[in-house]
Amino acid sequence: MLPSLLLLLLSAADVTSAASRSQTLLQYIDGRDDLSEAQRAEWREAVRIEFGGKAVKDGTDEGVTSAKSVIAAAIFNGVPPKSAAKAAYDAYHDTYRYVPPPIAVGYQLLKFAGRAPKAQPRELAFNFPRYFNEEMAPDVVRYWVQLLQTAKLTASEKAQLTRNVEKTRELMRPMLRERLWLGAELEAGAQTPQVRDDLRQLQDELQLDFAGVGKAASLDVRRSYHERYVDLSRELGLPAKARPVSAAPTAPTKPTAPTTPATPEPAKPARPQTPPTGWLASLSSVVSGWLGVPYLWGGLDKRGVDCSGFTRSVYASAFNIELPRNSRAQALLGEAVGRDGLRAGDLVFFDTLERGQITHVGIYVGDDQFVHASSSKGVVRAALSERYYVRAYLSSRRLLAH
């Protein structure tokens, strides 16, 4: 399949931070400040055995870059170095078999959990719409689109990639609708500096990740988020909620004819919500009921759950608050809060792959503890002050006004 593809997209498929991209694998391990000397030595040995001379290969090589992301995720999730080095090499090898780095890396995360699909990475890549995953979809589509623009492809290769892009974008339309509603809520709130920054981040995400998803009007910045949300809801044949009530005074408008009330949906709060009485006990009870549930990418129930599925399920059960399905979207809800000011119920976000963007989310439960769906251990309680969590920590958001 697609035998003539070349890995030309180093910048587009970058899966590590800029600081570590040029490092060889051994240099990358030596530079990890979250490993002890003994741990570093164990990691170096495992990587040398698995990679041989490739352990000192140019760090900008795409296979090496993917291997670094697997190593970062393995350290975050407590995977033993020998197993992790083997997984990193498999991801390295898959990039030379025309597997997009997001899938090459993501497949190894599933293996950490013991829940790898029967399909191999190449099948996941070339039949991605069949194995659709919200967290992975934007990166995969962006990778394919740039291949279509830059690589020399045969007519059949082009047709196959184009079909995959179109089918995946179709599956992403509910994700776009969710983002547009979030934008409508942000627009309706008081335009504080933080809200304006959240709107800028949302618009950047839409332009980067959702180009070509839905009709062009859905991304027309000249129109309000609510107008775009309504249009896309109509396109999908779904009921649309009424425009969010503005928190700020607005100029009087002419009366309009009454309209049929929209079908109610659970709230997706852009600003902190007042939690129900007894919310702390409810949070503790709900979270305790999830401990030990195995990890499953795309999972939403106690048969298996992933990180954003876990936070979404807990918030729905404990507070009757509906969160988006994607961790990056969840990071635009509520209000930003510093790590030193965390309270129980706050969401904490991490860059587990060292990509410079959110790839993981958990729930802070107090006393330096947070609960999350680890890809290697399932739903567990952990100390936020552990060095690998400190290194990966990116931000926190407060959704509960307490």
Contacts of 172 (CB under 8 A, 6+ apart): 134, 137, 138, 141, 210, 213
Q: Are 111 and 88 in contact (CB under 8 A)?
A: no
Phi, psi of 293 (to 5 degrees): -65, 135
Length of the chain: 402
**Catalytic: 360?**
yes
Q: For residue 107, how many C-alpha atoms fall within 13 Å in the half-sphere facing its CB? A: 28
User: Rounded CA gap, 110 and 304, in Å?
Assistant: 12
Spatial distance between the Cα atoms of 49 and 71, rounded to a whole number of angstroms: 15
Is 226 assigned a catalytic role? no
285 φ/ψ angles, rounded to the nearest 5 degrees: -65, -45
User: How many helices (H) and strands (E) would you count in the chain?
Assistant: 16, 8
- C-beta of residue 244 within 8 angstroms of C-beta of residue 367: no
Instruction: Identify the three-state secondary structure at position 315.
Output: helix
Which of the following is catalytic: 93, 226, 307, 402? 307
Integer Cα distance of 390 and 351 in angstroms: 10
The encoded tokens of residue 209 equal: 């990740």
| Closest CA relative to residue 334, chosen from 395, 264, 251 | 395
Catalytic residue positions, numbered: 307, 360, 372
